[in-house]
Amino acid sequence: MVNKMYKATPEKTERKGSKHNQVIMSIIVCLPVLAYGTATGWISPHKDLLMGDSSPSVEPLTEEDISWMASVIYIFAPIAVFTFGAAADKFGRKKALLWASVPISIGWGVKLISSHPTALIGARALIGFGCGGGYVLCPLYVKEISEDSIRGMTGTFVIFSQTVGNLLVFVLGDLLPYHTVLWILLAIPLIHFCIQLKLPETPSYLIKCGKNEETAKVLGWLRSLPHTDSSINEEVDRLIIEQTVEPKFSPKLLLADKTAFKAFWVALLVNLMREFCGCIVILVYASQIFAETVKEPGSGINLSPNKQSILLAAVQIVGSFLACQLVDRAGRKPLLTVTSSVAAISMCLLGVWFYLQSVGTLLPGWVPIVALCTCIFADASGLQPLPNVIMTELFSFQLRGTVATLITAISLATDFALLKLFAPLNNLIGYHFTFWAFSFVCLANVFYLIFFVPETKMRNLEDIYADLEGKRRKKKENAIETNHV
């Protein structure tokens, strides 16, 4: 099936055309995820200001206020995932993504109007609702406009956009006044809304609506080919065959297919392993964690915690860029296994550093910084983007929206629990045990990837599902027995 499905590859290298429109469109589409990155990172450079005497709020915020601001995004984001997931199947990817930018814009606007703790928490709830929609819609949109040869690379744009958002807000928060930063962050969703109005609907959804001629024109524009080109007609035919069943949010349809349900558990566990590796906590509380590393005199650290956070975000950008380059070369499974191993080692080293600090044995202050940067690099180059890529490649168009909705909602709810429990957990068991727990999760992920997760790079569903059902292993065993006889 693989050879049959991809036998046209040599012809594609001969034909004219370009992938530029697909790449540019994928970048624009991911602006809501960039806004999500700015929202998650916004607290880190502004925490001291909000809690200090010169707070823009009526009175300085408390740790409890900050805790709710950090976590409330992840209460409303799962709700948005279901809302926008259903809207994407009913009204289209384009319209749903347009509306995702509205609550994000309103949220930043509320922050500009009022800095009262209740207003800030409410604003972040609105931003979380819009970002939750963007987080489930952007991977679907990007997957459905990208051809097979670059879908791994464009799939990583989702997380790359988030890392750019993290770096952007860290730099802005360190250099510019509080309200100036808010104006810039408000402009991002507004710009996205205006540009998204001009972008086309995805070919898969147009086929679902019976607009075959419009689908051919959109594909022709995306591939930089005449819409009458034979390869465009072939792609339209493949999309028609793929959508013999109307897509809708239907967990029952997922449960009815045993192999697809097994694939759902694979995708869910791969995504949850990433959440429980602790990288989201590091990004949100970056300044606080770095502040812990410079408490002791003579630590050798001359950079402020905010500037160290900027360094962390810069490393994240490099990791995301590397993921874009490697994902279609190295494969999903090998790259994810390696980056999970690196994250496990880094988290373990962090735990060792904090443990030795707690017993009075000091190591150089650069050790935790290197460990944190290495961990975030591993997260950005594999742990964060690849679960999304695998999730979209494990399912047909009919189930893709349902699975993305369920997994994204569960992952965001997990983020809420982690962020809300991080501070109490550190007070209870200490930073060292917390980071060792994260390290254990990363290590467990390595074994799970090796033994249970199939490779999805440039493979069709039949071959992937054959791996999940063990058919390939059985065929090999039968062939060995036959040769032996």
Residue-wise pLDDT tens digits, 300-309: 556 676 777 7
Q: Both tokens of residue 124?
A: 């972040």
Q: Which string of DSSP letters, residue by residue, matches 223-268?
A: HTS-TT-HHHHHHHHHHHHHTSS-----HHHHHH-HHHHHHHHHHH
- The overall average pLDDT reported for the chain is 81
Q: Which of 57-66, 188-197, 215-224 has the highest mean pLDDT?
A: 188-197
**Per-residue model confidence (pLDDT) at position 1:** 39
Residue 394 has pLDDT above 60, yes or no: yes
**What is residue 3's predicted lDDT score, i.e. its pLDDT?**
40
What's the pLDDT tens digit per position in 444-474?
999 999 988 888 877 778 888 888 887 555 5
- Domains of the chain (ranges, CATH numbers): 16-199+245-453 (1.20.1250.20)
CA triple 80-81-86, angle to 5 deg:
100
Element (H, E) at 10: helix 9-14
12 vs 178, higher pLDDT: 178
Instruction: Say what the pLDDT of residue 99 is.
Output: 92
Taking the C-alpha atoms of residue 128 and residue 330, their distance in angstroms, rounded to an integer, is: 34
Q: Is the dihedral of CA 326, 329, 333, 335 positive or negative?
A: negative
Q: What is the DSSP letter of 197?
A: T
Backbone angles phi and psi of 131, in degrees to 5: -65, -35
Cα 341–chain centre separation: 19
d(CA 290, CA 266): 34
Which is more confident, 71 or 31? 31
Cβ contacts of residue 283 below 8 Å, gap of 6+? 40, 41, 44, 166, 312, 316, 376
pLDDT at 100: 92
Torsional sign, CA 301, 303, 306, 312: negative
How sure is the predictor about 249, in pLDDT bands with cuts at 50, 70 and 90?
low
- Range of weakest confidence among 174-188, 195-209, 305-319, 341-355: 305-319
How far, in Å, CA of 73 to CA of 123, rounded? Answer: 9
Q: By mean pLDDT, which of 111-115, 165-169, 348-352, 429-433 is the weakest?
A: 429-433
Quick one: pLDDT band at residue 106, thresholds 50, 70, 90?
very high
Taking alpha carbons only, the member of 106, 102, 83, 115 closest to residue 32 is 102
Chain-centroid distance, C-alpha 474: 35
* φ and ψ of 61, to 5 deg: -75, 155
Tell me the pLDDT band of 185, cut-offs 50, 70 and 90: very high
Task: Supply 21's token pair.
Answer: 């429109």
The pLDDT value recorded for residue 402 is 79
Phi, psi of 300 (to 5 degrees): 80, 10
Q: Specify the pLDDT at position 102.
A: 94
Residue 5, SS3 per DSSP: helix
Query: Which whole-number Å values give the CA distances from 67 to 37, 63, 173, 479, in the listed order?
Result: 18, 6, 19, 59
Residue 57 is classified by DSSP as S
Determine the pLDDT at residue 411: 84
Distances in Å between the Cα of 436 and the Cα atoms of 21, 72, 280, 426, 439 are: 44, 26, 16, 12, 5
The pLDDT of residue 89 is above 90: no
Q: Is the pLDDT of residue 9 over 90?
A: no
Q: Are 88 and 79 in contact (CB under 8 A)?
A: no
Alpha-carbon distances, residue 118 vs 62, 63, 109 (angstroms) = 12, 14, 14
E strands within 257-358? none
Q: pLDDT confidence of 5, banded at 50, 70, 90?
A: very low
Contacts of 69 (CB under 8 A, 6+ apart): 43, 61, 120, 121, 124
Tokens representing 173?
């928060």
| Angle (CA) 340 346 350, round 5° | 140
Cβ-proximal residues to 297 (8 Å cutoff; 6+ apart), any chain: none
Instruction: Quick: pLDDT tens for 203-228.
Output: 888 888 888 889 889 888 888 888 88
The pLDDT tens digits of the residues spanning 332-366 come to 888 899 999 999 999 999 889 888 888 877 777 77
Is residue 10 a contact partner of residue 137, using CB atoms and an 8 Å limit? no
The amino acid present at 455, given as its one-letter code, is E
Q: What is the mean pLDDT of residues 140-153?
A: 81
Amino acid at 342: V
Determine the Cα angle at 248 with ends 243 and 249, to 5°.
Answer: 140
Cα 458 from chain centre: 21
Per the confidence metrics, is the pTM higher than 0.85? no
Query: Cβ(80)–Cβ(129) under 8 Å?
Result: yes
Cβ atoms within 10 Å, residue 54: 9
Separation CA 400–CA 393 (nearest Å): 9
Q: Which helix (H) or strand (E) holds 380?
A: none
